[in-house]
């Protein structure tokens, strides 16, 4: 039995590609349903990774129907509210899609019963025995950790633990923007907006029914709770139009501390066990690659298992030999982008980065 732990984008992509190639797997997911948690966040899906995986999953045409028109546009401001870059990236090959819609698309392509909802893994052991929170156990022939940052499968292959990167986000939402937050909607535009200054940033996306904002601040201790007033105090001196994204949020700030695994995280081959996505290479979101890599990992792991159906060990070795250098390069890019995004002269570094990309 192939057990995939985690029904995020990585786990679902793997299950779907295996399914269309006649290989069934069971996905164990801690949450009780797809809608148990808000699925905030637009994701730009890259041609060479996320989109290629959707093609392998036979879902590319359906994907084209859920992309957000105009979502590729980008605006960069400085902390004084001066617009420093405005780009309509239409046709960039990186269309934006809502995470909830993408997960829904992948889920819809799986036979009933593939996902075991509410199945939280609490322990795994080297013989691939898995214990769930309800006390039940099972043993997998092949155990795949697609269970994100705090993977319960990772300890079977590696001692690495994600480290806090000294950056905390607070998630905010301005609902019903056309009627209630028109000025903020204009500030953000149809896609993504970044406002950057030394050690701080406001990162926002236009979503179909809301403006989704992350207030990001470099702080030594990870935020576990934060109020709007504390947030506003941290952005003292910023342009008032930008601060309205915090002040006028319709939801209280929800903290998210940013962690990463070491750049170049890898492991020795352990029989019948592997990782994909954030479980394998958690990185900060500043390369915009995490979801794309999770889907690419899934597609490459599926391809290796399909190509070598009678030799899972060889398939896992093939998969991991490409995974490690790919993940290392993306993690290094992510770390470099984080540094320039919050440098004392921000947004200069990120403007130079985009200029170099042309």
Q: By the criterion CB under 6 A, which residues form the site for ligand FAD?
A: 5-11, 28-31, 41, 43-44, 120-121, 146-148, 152, 169, 214, 256, 277-279, 285, 288-292, 294
Task: Report, in Å, the least distance between residue 333 CB and ligand FAD.
Answer: 12
Nearer to ligand FAD among residue 53 and residue 308 (C-beta)? 53
Task: Report, in Å, the least distance between residue 310 CB and ligand FAD.
Answer: 28
- 3-state class percentages of the chain: helix first, strand second, coil last, to nearest 5: 35, 25, 40
Task: Report, in Å, the least distance between residue 323 CB and ligand FAD.
Answer: 12
Nearer to ligand FAD among residue 256 and residue 308 (C-beta)? 256
**Number of neighbouring beta carbons within 10 Å of residue 159:** 7
C-alpha to C-alpha distance for 88 and 93, rounded to whole angstroms: 12
Tokens 């030594």 label which residue?
220
Question: What is the Rg, in whole angstroms, of the alpha carbon atoms belonging to the chain?
Answer: 21
Coil, strand or helix at 270 = strand
Task: Report, in Å, the least distance between residue 161 CB and ligand FAD.
Answer: 15
Nearer to ligand FAD among residue 44 and residue 72 (C-beta)? 44
Q: Pick from 274, 324, 28, 284: which is nearest to 162 by CA?
A: 284
Q: Pick from 156, 118, 91, 114: which is nearest to 36 by CA?
A: 118
Nearer to ligand FAD among residue 264 and residue 309 (C-beta)? 264
Task: Report, in Å, the least distance between residue 205 CB and ligand FAD.
Answer: 8
Q: Pick from 133, 130, 129: which is nearest to 120 by CA?
A: 133
Q: What is the DSSP letter of 31?
A: S
Nearer to ligand FAD among residue 8 and residue 190 (C-beta)? 8
């Amino acid at each position: 039995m192939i057990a995939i732990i985690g029904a995020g984008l990585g786990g679902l992509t793997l299950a779907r590609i295996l399914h269309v190639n006649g290989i069934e797997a069971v996905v164990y997911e801690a949450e009780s349903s797809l809608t148990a948690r808000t699925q905030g966040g637009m994701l730009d899906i890259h041609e060479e990774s996320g989109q290629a995986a959707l093609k392998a999953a036979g879902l590319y045409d359906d994907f084209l129907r859920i992309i957000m028109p105009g979502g590729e546009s980008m605006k960069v401001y400085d902390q004084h509210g001066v617009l420093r870059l405005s780009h309509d990236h239409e046709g960039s090959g990186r269309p934006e899609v809502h995470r909830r819609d993408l997960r829904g698309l992948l889920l819809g392509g799986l036979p009933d019963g593939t996902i075991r909802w509410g199945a939280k893994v609490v322990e795994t052991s080297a013989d691939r025995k898995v214990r769930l929170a309800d006390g039940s156990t099972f043993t997998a022939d092949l155990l795949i950790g697609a269970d994100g940052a705090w993977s319960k499968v990772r300890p079977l292959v590696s001692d690495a633990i994600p480290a806090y990167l000294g950056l905390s986000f607070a998630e905010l939402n301005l609902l019903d923007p056309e009627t209630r937050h028109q000025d903020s909607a204009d500030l953000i535009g149809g896609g993504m907006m970044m406002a950057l200054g030394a050690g701080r940033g406001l990162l926002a996306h236009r979503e179909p029914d809301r403006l989704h904002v992350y207030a990001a601040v470099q702080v030594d201790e990870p935020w576990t709770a934060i109020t709007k007033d504390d947030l506003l105090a941290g952005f003292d001196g910023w342009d008032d139009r930008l601060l309205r994204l915090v002040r006028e949020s319709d939801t209280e700030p929800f903290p998210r501390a940013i962690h990463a695994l070491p750049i170049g995280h890898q492991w020795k081959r352990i029989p019948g066990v592997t990782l994909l996505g954030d479980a394998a290479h958690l990185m900060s979101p500043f390369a915009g690659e995490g979801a794309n890599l999770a889907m690419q990992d899934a597609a490459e792991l599926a391809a290796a298992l399909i190509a070598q159906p009678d030799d899972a060990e060889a398939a896992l070795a093939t998969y991991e030999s490409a995974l490690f250098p790919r993940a290392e390069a993306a993690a290094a890019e992510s770390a470099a982008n984080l540094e320039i995004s919050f440098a004392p002269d921000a947004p200069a570094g990120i403007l130079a980065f985009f200029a170099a990309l042309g």
